[in-house]
Structure 1
Amino acid sequence: MKVINKNYTIHDLTYMIRTANEFDAKQLSDVRLQIDGETENMDRERGEAYIDESGFKQIIKSDREKNCNLFLVVEVKGRIVGFSRCEGNALKRTAHKVEFGVCVLKDYWGHAIGRNLLKESIHWVETVGITKMTLQVLETNAKAITMYKQFGFEVEGVLKKDKLLSDGNYYHTIVMGRFHKT
């Protein structure tokens, strides 16, 4: 699915949110690998479940062909610095919902990139008639949890001791959802 390009300027940084295209695949592979190494908020450690350029091309092509998927990128001066995806499916019992995921390079935190990716994704969800967004967030990511609640997400459950982090401790994953009627 495709959305209209939108520009933002936050704290002297101008960036564009747009639909991913196949030309982005190499940058997306590099950015995802870097982000996975910058924070423990992601599901993976650097290099795990690596997706190469051809893998991203296939994901982008597939998402473009499906009405229930949306792949957005954030571009700063021709460089991709973050992305988000809404992934749904065609099963009748769950076709009303998508799962949202987002990641932004650490150097670009503090510019409302994640917030604006979420805002654009919510707008898309409401436009295409999807009624539920879900996501998972690590319990230690209080800033993200607060933001999701501001956008109407509620805690739906807790996956206890779901992630083992580098400090040797287990942490919970918070499952959140946002429902709206069309």
Structure 2
Amino acid sequence: MIISNKEFHVNGLTYTIRSSIEIDAKDLSELRLQIDGETENLDRERGEAFIDISGFEQLIHADTISPKNLFLVAVADKRIVGFSRCEGTYLKRFSHKVEFGVCVLKDFWGYGIGKNLLQESITWADSNDIKKITLNVLETNTKAIELYKRLGFEIEGILKNDKILSDGEYYNTIVMGRFNDA
């Protein structure tokens, strides 16, 4: 699905959130690889589940034509610095919901990019009869958990000892959801 471009000015940074387009594929492939190496908040380590340019082109194309998917990018200084996806399904019993995921370059944390990508996704979902958005977050990512709560998400469950991080310890994954019954 496609949304209108929206510009933001936060802490001296101007950036645009827009729908991804196929020419973003090369930048997205490189960006995802970099972000995966910058934080343990995501599911992947650097290089795992690599998506090449062709893979991103296919993903962008599918998300553009699907009324249940939304692929957004955040662009600052003429380069992509973050992205998010909402992915739905056509299985009838799950057709009311999408799963949200987001990642932002570490150098661009603190500018509200993740928050604004999520808010744009919520606006899209609410206006397209999507009743529920779900997401998973690492228990140590307390800033994200608090943000999600402020935006109407509730903790729905905990996946115990779900991930092993670089320190060799096990960590829980928090399952959160936001239901719009309006």
TM-score range, shorter chain: over 0.9
Q: Report the counterpart of residue 164 of structure 2 in structure 1.
A: 164
Aligned-partner Cα distance in 2 for 1:23–1:122:
25
1:8-59 deviation digits (Å, cap 9, x = unpaired)? 0101100000000000000000000000000000000000000010000000
Q: Report the counterpart of residue 28 of structure 1 in structure 2.
A: 28
- Aligned pair count reads 182
Report matched runs for 1:49-60 at 5 Å.
Answer: 49-60=49-60
Aligned-partner Cα distance in 1 for 2:53–2:18:
19
Runs of 5+ in structure 2 lacking a partner? none
- Residue 78 of structure 1 and its aligned partner are, at CA, apart by 1.6
- Residue 77 of structure 1 and its aligned partner are, at CA, apart by 2.1
SS in 1 for 2:37: helix
Aligned-partner Cα distance in 1 for 2:119–2:66:
20
Runs of 5+ in structure 1 lacking a partner? none
Q: Report the counterpart of residue 19 of structure 1 in structure 2.
A: 19
- Residue 166 of structure 1 and its aligned partner are, at CA, apart by 0.2
Q: Report the counterpart of residue 131 of structure 1 in structure 2.
A: 131
Q: Report the counterpart of residue 175 of structure 2 in structure 1.
A: 175
TM-score by length of 2: 0.99
Q: Report the counterpart of residue 109 of structure 2 in structure 1.
A: 109
**Once superposed, what is the RMSD of the aligned Cα atoms?**
0.5
- Residue 115 of structure 1 and its aligned partner are, at CA, apart by 0.5
- Residue 94 of structure 1 and its aligned partner are, at CA, apart by 0.2
| Segments ≥4 residues shifted beyond 3 Å | none
TM-score by length of 1: 0.99
- Residue 65 of structure 1 and its aligned partner are, at CA, apart by 1.2
